[in-house]
């Protein structure tokens, strides 16, 4: 990837949710670089610690509308009284952290604590309501089973579409197709429509494409949990390989053992904020004690 293409990608549209997001890709790029050099009041990163992700004061709000049954009485109330003001719900507030290249960061927290929302923000699939996000390089998001796959397309076509979305040229996709199909162990099904794939098969295909695109940042949200034991072992071995190759990884999982094994750092989300950020051992222990 060229240096130009390697510049920071910052979500640039106002969110459809609440407040506007301050967005200027050039400013984001400059901010990441200045942060790495130690300006803006932050200690300099070591020269080998290239910054890949920066979150500054990030909050995300959703609007919650009352879903009343469609009755004439409710319709009349709405016409007379106007639309009721939506309630705001903030799953994440004032989240600040940096992630450097080669880090593998686990994200833990109870159901509904905002882990998937955090990864969606990082992938640019959602926009922050407050604060600022900058992400550098090619991002491969594995955020949901079969995300980006059209049910009527064959597995092969999904690899082509997904590979293109992840920045591969048609030639690169073709040259990697056999390796992807072989890694996913789906040779017998690769020309069948993915609507007939099981959950585990979708996870295999998604993971196989993502790890064959040489991403700078790999985002994994629980998708490996549906794979069988041997595939999970294979994925973990592959994750170790791409760690060595310099890929930065965000790993959301409820499997404390997997987080402990794979990650050199953990973010614990609790009550909408970043409760802990540090080495996995003590944080996972504290998390397990607090939630059992």
Ligand X SMILES: Nc1ncnc2c1ncn2[C@@H]1O[C@H](COP(=O)(O)OP(=O)(O)OP(=O)(O)O)[C@@H](O)[C@H]1O
**Residue 162 sits in the site that holds Mg ion (CB under 5 A):** no
Q: How far is the CB of 91 from ligand X (least distance, A)?
A: 4
Q: Output the residue with the shortest Cβ distance to Mg ion.
A: 116
Q: How far is the CB of 79 from Mg ion (least distance, A)?
A: 38
Contact pick of 59, 106, 109, 155 for ligand X (by CB under 6 A)? 109
H-only helix segments in 149-228? 155-165, 170-184, 199-211
Contact pick of 11, 59, 114, 128 for ligand X (by CB under 6 A)? 114
Contact pick of 54, 93, 115, 138 for ligand X (by CB under 6 A)? 115
Residue 146, contacted partner among Mg ion, ligand X, none, CB below 5-8 A by kind:
none
What lies within 8 Å, CB to CB, of 104 at 6+ separation is: 239, 243, 248, 249, 251, 262, 263, 264, 265
- Closer to ligand X by CB, 10 or 113: give it: 113
**Residue 117 sits in the site that holds ligand X (CB under 6 A):** yes
What lies within 8 Å, CB to CB, of 262 at 6+ separation is: 104, 106, 236, 239, 240, 249, 251
**Residue 59 sits in the site that holds ligand X (CB under 6 A):** no
Contact pick of 104, 116, 129, 247 for Mg ion (by CB under 5 A)? 116
The residue length of the chain stands at 292
> 272, 236, 269, 262: which is closest to 283 by C-alpha?
269
Q: Which two tokens stand for residue 126?
A: 């959602």
**Roughly what angle, to the nearest 10 degrees, separates helices 229-244 and 199-211?**
10
Q: Which stretch binds ligand X (CB under 6 A): 37-45, 73-81, 113-121, 229-237?
A: 113-121
Q: Which residues bind ligand X (CB under 6 A)?
A: 62, 89, 91, 109, 111-117
């Amino acid at each position: 990837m060229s240096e130009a293409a390697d510049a920071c990608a910052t979500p640039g549209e106002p969110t459809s949710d609440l407040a506007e997001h301050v967005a200027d890709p050039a400013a984001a790029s400059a901010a990441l670089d200045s942060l790495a050099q130690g300006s803006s009041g932050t200690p300099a990163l070591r020269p080998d610690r290239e910054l890949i992700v920066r979150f500054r004061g990030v909050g995300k709000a959703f609007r919650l509308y009352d879903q009343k049954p469609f009755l004439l009485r409710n319709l009349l109330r709405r016409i007379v009284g106007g639309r009721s003001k939506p309630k705001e719900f903030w799953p994440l507030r004032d989240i600040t952290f940096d992630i450097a290249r080669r880090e593998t960061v686990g994200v833990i927290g109870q159901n509904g604590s905002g882990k998937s929302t955090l990864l969606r923000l990082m992938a640019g699939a959602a926009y922050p309501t407050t604060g600022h996000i900058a992400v550098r390089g090619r991002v491969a998001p594995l955020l949901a089973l079969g995300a980006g796959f059209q049910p009527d397309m064959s597995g092969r076509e999904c690899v082509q579409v997904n590979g293109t979305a992840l920045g591969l040229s048609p030639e690169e996709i073709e040259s990697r197709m056999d390796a992807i199909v072989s890694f996913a162990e789906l040779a017998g099904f690769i020309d069948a429509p993915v609507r007939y794939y099981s959950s585990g098969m979708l996870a295999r295909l998604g993971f196989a494409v993502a790890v064959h695109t040489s991403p700078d940042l790999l985002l994994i949200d629980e998708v490996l949990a549906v794979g069988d034991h041997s595939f999970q072992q294979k994925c973990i071995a592959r994750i170790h390989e791409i760690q060595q190759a310099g890929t930065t990884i965000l790993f959301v999982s409820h499997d404390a053992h997997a987080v402990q094994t794979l990650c050199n750092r953990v973010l614990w989300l609790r009550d909408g904020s970043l409760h802990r950020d540090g080495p996995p051992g003590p944080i996972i222990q504290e998390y397990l004690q607090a939630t059992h």
